[in-house]
Amino acid sequence: MYIRQLQEPIERLRGVGKQLAESYHNLGVNSTGDLLLLAPRTYEDRSKLVPLGKLGDGEYANTVVEVLSHSYFGGKGKRTLKVTIKDISDEGDGKAALLCFGRNFLERVLRIGSQFYLYGVFQRNFHELQSSQFEMLPLKPDGSMPGDFGKLLPIYPLSGSLSQRIVRRDVSAVLASHLATFSEELPPRMIERYGLLSMNDAVRALHQPTSLEEARGATRSFAFIELFYLLLMNRRKNSSPTVQGRAHACKLSVLQRRFIASLPFSLTEDQETVLREICTDLDDEISMNRLLQGDVGSGKTLIAWLSALHVIQSGGQVAFMAPTELLARQHAEQAASWLGPLGVRLAFLTGSVTGKSRKLLLEALGEGRIDIIIGTHALFSPEVTFSALKYIIIDEQHRFGVVQRVSLLEKGRAPDVLMMTATPIPRTLALTVFGDLNISTIRSMPAGRLPVITYLVSNESRQRMYAAVGVEFSRDHQAYFVYPRIDDQGESSLRDVESMFKLLTTSMYPGIPAALIHSRLPEEEKVDILTKFRKRELKFLVSTSVVEVGIDIPNATCMVIEHAERFGLSALHQLRGRVGRSDLQSYCFLVYESQLGEDAKKRLMVMKESNDGFHIAEQDLLIRGPGEVAGTRQSGFLKLRFASLTEDIGQIESIRNEIDMILASDPGLVDLGNAVIRDVLINAPPFDETAMES
């Protein structure tokens, strides 16, 4: 079995309830297979003893200590426990203090005289070694070290209610029941030539490495797999990448013309052009593999619907996939009001569609009684089958992992694929990685749009901003107030949003209806809040960055981003793109802390000076430098989990050659377009060494 075929929903794992499942979904982890493909951000080395006495500033201790005394510091009501400890390990000496912010209950746990295993990062303050980020575990009854000591621990990306402990628990559970059952994803010859780990070794070493070298080996193996799939998917035989302008041959179909006639506005020139480019491809025998890029608000979704009509007209089925339930729902509602009147049969499928209605829906889909299905990753599930899947549209494509996307392709016979993104791909990168991919670009905004005016607001001068937003309320316009996402520190930043909400609703804007929305709210509640906001029953939303993608509420004219310095450029641009979506003048307020780093300052200046997503993407690359590995991985245009486009770029050519060889070994595969992937990956004849030689 291939890892990506491990499709058991993550919520079926013991201990994973609804809330944890949603947090996993936010990370793009929907199935147990996805969990195994979750790349650790880094590893914590707890294999070597590091006593307190030898610590430098900012270094991690990994040792055994005894509690000496307790004391308190700080004013009334804000007292914080301080625990003094001494090292008692074999090589141990040295003392230190643990500052237990918000954890005064530790007084009862860390009893004076008792001994613990300690792991934590220390600073030197006032000639004292101090830590506020530490872990203490009691020694086992026989005096030996507890579980985590001596290990190399993976540190995973987190979201919502997840903790390292929970993710490690779940990964171990999945690993335990599937150890050594995975098929190779790469031809044996490649594994050998590049010194990669076998699939089963790689999975284990990724999550439970015995050394850092082994962990690096695992990451490298997965990077190869990822690039292999990516290049395979982006491969398109016999096509010259089209520039804008190739489109002419394609005639609009009846449904398309009726839809355009029903719109209250006309298409922009760029929309016309890309629509024709896409339809020309759809008519072509060779499968389309096209990226549609256009700035936030440029009207990509409309093009998606229009192009879908082309396929529906000729009897094919369409799958439209969005990264979140919220977004899928918004798209489905819009499609219902736009396409429904044309007689198009629509369906909506997410994890929350269950029971009888799910069964009926899947039946109808399998029998071809549904023309277009709109949904989330739920569309990947094995039980979803189509009678004639011809066209796949992926919104916010960078949110889906490379390997995930393969699963959807496998559902059709050489389906056409349109990927949409608001984050343009820098040209140099596009040529290297997407050499075979065709790109359509919408550069202009719909007529009548005014550029969003952006203000940088220092923490001290926020009163004027509140007043300005108040004026917008009096004009019956709406606003978003956004906080950084609830992250590893979880609780504390949630408290920030909550206290902000209280401040805004009581002192700033009393009597104005508002809601708090964050990633830990149940899905139905989020949907409910957004519906009310859309109907203008709510005037403003205070949120963590859940509004980041895709939300389209044209009457909202203010975007206030708190701690703007903590956001990356592409996130800021996405957030700002939630306003300025009509002919109303919109405003974006970037509130920053006074102590700004150099890069943060540059980012905010870029935002102030430009509304152009293409310019911003290039500046982003400049500021971060292409050499910054983590940056490249997180950047908007490609969700690579293992490969780094800068470090592994040297491999790309070799992998491309390998793919050419595989395809050359069976010329029958070549003409099938995307079906090549299906055959290569599912039936896997080319993975057989003998088949390759013959």
SS (H, E, C) 534-595: HCCCCCEEEEEHHHCCCCCCCCEEEEEECCHHHCCHHHHHHHHCCCCCCCCCCEEEEEECCC
Smallest gap from Cβ 582 to ligand ADP, in A, equals 7
Q: By rule CB under 6 A, what count of residues binds ligand ADP?
A: 17
Which one of 157, 446, 673, 686 is in contact with ligand ADP (CB under 6 A)? Answer: 446
Q: Which of residues 294-313 bind ligand ADP (CB under 6 A)?
A: 294, 296-302
Measured distance CA(279)–CA(251) in Å, rounded: 8
399 binding partner (options ligand ADP, Mg ion, none; Cβ < 5 to 8 Å by kind): none
What character string, x for contact with ligand ADP (CB under 6 A) and - otherwise, covers 254-283? -----------x-xx--x------------
Smallest gap from Cβ 397 to ligand ADP, in A, equals 12
The nearer residue to Mg ion, 308 or 361, going by C-beta atoms, is 308
Measured distance CA(12)–CA(21) in Å, rounded: 9
CB contact set of 272 (below 8 Å; sequence gap of 6+): none
Which one of 550, 577, 673, 686 is in contact with Mg ion (CB under 5 A)? Answer: 550
In a 10 Å sphere around its CB, with 0-12 CB exposed, 13-18 middle and 19+ buried, how is residue 195 labelled? exposed
Reported as type and span, the H/E element at residue 390 is strand 389-394
Measured distance CA(417)–CA(436) in Å, rounded: 13
Q: Which of residues 268-307 bind Mg ion (CB under 5 A)?
A: 301
Contact 423, 635 (CB under 8 A): yes
Measured distance CA(388)–CA(98) in Å, rounded: 63
The angle subtended at Cα 383 by Cα 380 and Cα 388, nearest 5°, is: 75
Smallest gap from Cβ 396 to ligand ADP, in A, equals 9
The nearer residue to Mg ion, 9 or 550, going by C-beta atoms, is 550
What character string, x for contact with ligand ADP (CB under 6 A) and - otherwise, covers 220-259? ----------------------------------------
> Of 328, 274, 325, 323, nearest to 302 (Cα)?
274
Q: Using CA atoms in the order 12, 16, 18, 24, what is the torsion angle rounded to 10 degrees?
A: -100
Q: By rule CB under 5 A, what count of residues binds Mg ion?
A: 2
51 binding partner (options ligand ADP, Mg ion, none; Cβ < 5 to 8 Å by kind): none
Smallest gap from Cβ 303 to Mg ion, in A, equals 10
Smallest gap from Cβ 34 to Mg ion, in A, equals 23
Q: According to the binding rule CB under 6 A, does residue 426 interact with ligand ADP?
A: no
581 binding partner (options Mg ion, ligand ADP, none; Cβ < 5 to 8 Å by kind): ligand ADP
Q: Which of residues 457-516 bind ligand ADP (CB under 6 A)?
A: none
Structure tokens at 418: 């349109």
The nearer residue to Mg ion, 205 or 394, going by C-beta atoms, is 394
Measured distance CA(165)–CA(359) in Å, rounded: 36
Smallest gap from Cβ 533 to ligand ADP, in A, equals 15
Smallest gap from Cβ 297 to ligand ADP, in A, equals 5
**Residues forming beta bridges with residue 436, ordered by sequence position:** none
Structure tokens at 262: 């029903």
Q: Which of residues 559-588 bind ligand ADP (CB under 6 A)?
A: 581
Q: According to the binding rule CB under 6 A, does residue 557 interact with ligand ADP?
A: no
Q: Which of residues 14-73 bind ligand ADP (CB under 6 A)?
A: none
State the CB neighbour count (10 A cutoff) for residue 1. 10
619 binding partner (options ligand ADP, Mg ion, none; Cβ < 5 to 8 Å by kind): none
Smallest gap from Cβ 608 to Mg ion, in A, equals 24
Smallest gap from Cβ 43 to Mg ion, in A, equals 36
The nearer residue to Mg ion, 420 or 680, going by C-beta atoms, is 420
Contact 507, 470 (CB under 8 A): no
Edge-to-edge strands of the sheet including 389-394?
346-349, 372-375, 317-321, 389-394, 416-421, 289-294, 438-442
The nearer residue to ligand ADP, 267 or 661, going by C-beta atoms, is 267
Measured distance CA(399)–CA(407) in Å, rounded: 15
Q: Which residues bind ligand ADP (CB under 6 A)?
A: 265, 267-268, 271, 294, 296-302, 422, 446, 552, 554, 581
Q: Which residues bind Mg ion (CB under 5 A)?
A: 301, 550
